Chains A and B, each alone.
Chain A
């Protein structure tokens, strides 16, 4: 596979969860958790997915790994359309795509030994490693920095960081091509967070893994990602390589997010320019029309309330959905993103 051919390609992906009410459980609406998003993930890279609570990050991860059934759009993995792949064809897919979850406590069965947990994928998939399952598991434990002699221990005997390592070991068993990590470090202490971030990076280099890392922590995402997508209320509002996204963010929401992060530098606190958003994120049950960010955006004009801004490429690989982007290069005249001067 060449550099430019995506390992994963998501086109106009949609997930609307129906909302039912009353005795007859009639559908009265839908949570537009993921609403027409498109992106690619290239082999060997890390795509970061950021955004505030409820914007649809986890739903995106679950759609891509086909733990959820999409209500629209298309998912292409290694050139194959897997949008509605049935149980039979999902089985091999589960080997190639793995998910790491946020909570190292609840994602491990407390009654199973570490050996059983990490070895489970071999058994489920009916894979018989040459060296035997036990040996293979011990090798993986070693790879993630756990003591192979702890094969027979139970999850409660491990610390939070070690449990997350067990979770990571489990996903590595079948040498997946794509790992979707949903908040892999947010439940961990800072010092442990750094250990796990380094581990993920080492494993990527050693095993040539491709990651989608979902997180709400913008600093962690910058550290770990090659490219970053920002979500707001079920939409991708901006996607770019990390350097561009963090140094010249174009979407007002991205700008607001970045300026809201507290900086651990007391001398900088006085002279930082801050963008302060008012209010909270609106409900995805009734998202604002057109640009979903217009209820909180300080740049909003009439057009933002009536015309949805398309996700457009305004600079090399830098796509943004906004009528009045910040840090924008010369906007090509007559493009759909050019607003009438207000």
Chain B
């Protein structure tokens, strides 16, 4: 990631001082993303995924969050930019799809009015032109009878339609960066499939950079070019989708894969869960944050509990944060993990 990408996040830290202590929600995150590409961010609840996305959109600005590091978007640095400036970029330059569309839509305005308003902030057009655009967008995301539906209120839509409407709203200004935070988690699986297809098609058409945040490895496998695995506010593994699914090198990634029952394989007798539970971000375990749950912690000669492992390149852009050496990780994957997962 030496030359500048369209989106370049460097050593991003977002900490919240609270009565119980400092919450290190995002703690030194670095990644890049090009136009037309999709990055999947996966991790369990509380690993810092949403805080990261809100941080990129500048939505922590003015709050109590302590933010450091750099966020470069198309050559512009956003951490040091004024809140007004970043607000001006929202909508046109970058936009977000939230898990819960109701929280992102105003209940007292029609869906159409909300798209119209968002569109007119960035485009000097009459209301009727903007309304045509809104109808067009609603049609594109698959809302039936968009000419009539444009005048509906959010509560008159079903869950799937609301999510489509929010996608229409987010895409109405043709944003160059789109962040989708658990866009389908609240939806039924048949509707989820429709929304994922839609996002894939629209992204191709608009050539935007897409970040999809989810805890569902199936969803990221369907959409992503690259995947970033987060644990306790840090990236623990980063690579192409193929790297993460076929050559994962981090014990936590192995744990995620082993925990998941899969429809595409013969069922196993038992799942292989990770022991324990994710840490509190106030008391992140010292050294490797995963060490209290890691079955291989002993193999690192005491370093696991004292030294934070660096995020190091293993091969061709595939990054892993683990003290085990490369050969050992590969041996474990090939001989111990993969054979067990594949009998699944």
List which A218-261 residues lie within 8 A (CB) of chain B: 218-220, 222-223, 242, 246, 256-261
Note all chain A residues with C-beta closer than 8 A to B262: 219, 263-264
Which stretch from B23-31, B173-181, B187-195, B301-309 is at the chain A interface?
Answer: B187-195
A interface footprint on B309-324 (CB within 8 Å = 1, 0 otherwise)? 0000000000000000
Partner of B221, one of A216, A265, A278, A279: A265
Assess whether A52 is in contact with B221, with CB atoms less than 8 Å apart.
no
A78 touches B (CB below 8 Å): no
The answer to whether residues A223 and B242 also contact, given A216-B189, A260-B189, A263-B262 and a CB cut-off of 8 A, is no
Note all chain B residues with C-beta closer than 8 A to A258: 263
A266 touches B (CB below 8 Å): yes
Assess whether B259 is in contact with A190, with CB atoms less than 8 Å apart.
yes
A11 touches B (CB below 8 Å): no
Note all chain A residues with C-beta closer than 8 A to B246: 267
Partner of A260, one of B190, B245, B264: B190
Assess whether B241 is in contact with A266, with CB atoms less than 8 Å apart.
yes
Residue of B nearest to A190 (CB): B259
Assess whether B219 is in contact with A265, with CB atoms less than 8 Å apart.
no
Assess whether A263 is in contact with B222, with CB atoms less than 8 Å apart.
yes
Assess whether A268 is in contact with B241, with CB atoms less than 8 Å apart.
no
Residue of A nearest to B256 (CB): A190
Assess whether A194 is in contact with B271, with CB atoms less than 8 Å apart.
yes
Complex CA distance for A120 and B228, rounded to whole angstroms: 45
Assess whether A191 is in contact with B267, with CB atoms less than 8 Å apart.
no
Least CB distance, B299 to chain A, in whole angstroms: 20
A143 touches B (CB below 8 Å): no
A153 touches B (CB below 8 Å): no
Assess whether A261 is in contact with B160, with CB atoms less than 8 Å apart.
no
Complex CA distance for A163 and B208, rounded to whole angstroms: 42
Main secondary structure of the interface of A (DSSP, over half): helix
Least CB distance, B288 to chain A, in whole angstroms: 16
B216 touches A (CB below 8 Å): yes
Partner of A223, one of B144, B190, B256, B261: B261
Note all chain B residues with C-beta closer than 8 A to A222: 261, 263, 267
Assess whether B221 is in contact with A189, with CB atoms less than 8 Å apart.
no
B202 touches A (CB below 8 Å): no
B260 touches A (CB below 8 Å): yes
Least CB distance, B11 to chain A, in whole angstroms: 27
Complex CA distance for A273 and B274, rounded to whole angstroms: 33
Assess whether B271 is in contact with A52, with CB atoms less than 8 Å apart.
no
Least CB distance, B248 to chain A, in whole angstroms: 11
Partner of A266, one of B188, B193, B245, B256: B245
Assess whether A266 is in contact with B221, with CB atoms less than 8 Å apart.
yes
Residue of B nearest to A52 (CB): B188
Note all chain B residues with C-beta closer than 8 A to A193: 259, 273
Assess whether A256 is in contact with B272, with CB atoms less than 8 Å apart.
no
B158 touches A (CB below 8 Å): yes
Complex CA distance for A201 and B261, rounded to whole angstroms: 14
Complex CA distance for A257 and B188, rounded to whole angstroms: 9
Complex CA distance for A195 and B45, rounded to whole angstroms: 16
Note all chain A residues with C-beta closer than 8 A to B255: 191
A162 touches B (CB below 8 Å): yes
A80 touches B (CB below 8 Å): no
The answer to whether residues A162 and B277 also contact, given A52-B190, A190-B215, A256-B190 and a CB cut-off of 8 A, is yes
Complex CA distance for A198 and B215, rounded to whole angstroms: 20
B197 touches A (CB below 8 Å): yes
The answer to whether residues A279 and B189 also contact, given A189-B45, A223-B267, A264-B218 and a CB cut-off of 8 A, is no
Complex CA distance for A246 and B188, rounded to whole angstroms: 19
A interface footprint on B193-209 (CB within 8 Å = 1, 0 otherwise)? 11011000000000000
Assess whether B273 is in contact with A269, with CB atoms less than 8 Å apart.
no
Note all chain A residues with C-beta closer than 8 A to B222: 262-263, 266, 269
Complex CA distance for A258 and B128, rounded to whole angstroms: 43
Note all chain A residues with C-beta closer than 8 A to B273: 191-195, 198
Note all chain A residues with C-beta closer than 8 A to B245: 264-266
Complex CA distance for A268 and B194, rounded to whole angstroms: 18
Assess whether B277 is in contact with A262, with CB atoms less than 8 Å apart.
no
Least CB distance, A242 to chain B, in whole angstroms: 8
B77 touches A (CB below 8 Å): no
Assess whether B221 is in contact with A223, with CB atoms less than 8 Å apart.
no
Complex CA distance for A220 and B273, rounded to whole angstroms: 13
Of B45, B159, B189, the most chain A CB neighbours within 10 A belong to B189
Assess whether A266 is in contact with B242, with CB atoms less than 8 Å apart.
yes
Note all chain A residues with C-beta closer than 8 A to B218: 261-264
Partner of A194, one of B196, B216, B242, B272: B272
Note all chain A residues with C-beta closer than 8 A to B264: 263-265, 268
A159 touches B (CB below 8 Å): yes
Residues of A within 8 A of B (CB): 52-53, 159-162, 189-195, 197-198, 201, 216, 218-220, 222-223, 242, 246, 256-269, 274, 276-281
Interchain residue pairs with CB less than 8 A apart (29): A52-B189, A159-B277, A160-B45, A161-B277, A190-B259, A190-B260, A191-B274, A194-B271, A197-B261, A198-B273, A216-B189, A219-B261, A219-B262, A223-B261, A242-B267, A260-B189, A261-B218, A261-B263, A262-B193, A262-B218, A263-B262, A264-B221, A264-B257, A265-B221, A267-B242, A274-B193, A276-B197, A277-B193, A280-B191
Since A191-B273, A264-B264, A278-B194 are in contact, a sample of 5 more A-B pairs with Cβ atoms closer than 8 Å, ordered by chain A residue number, is: A52-B190, A191-B259, A197-B271, A198-B270, A262-B196
A-B CB proximity, top 8 nearest: A262-B218, A194-B273, A194-B259, A223-B261, A260-B193, A191-B274, A52-B188, A194-B271
Residues of B within 8 A of A (CB): 44-45, 142, 144, 158-161, 188-194, 196-197, 215-222, 224, 241-242, 245-246, 255-264, 267-268, 270-275, 277-278
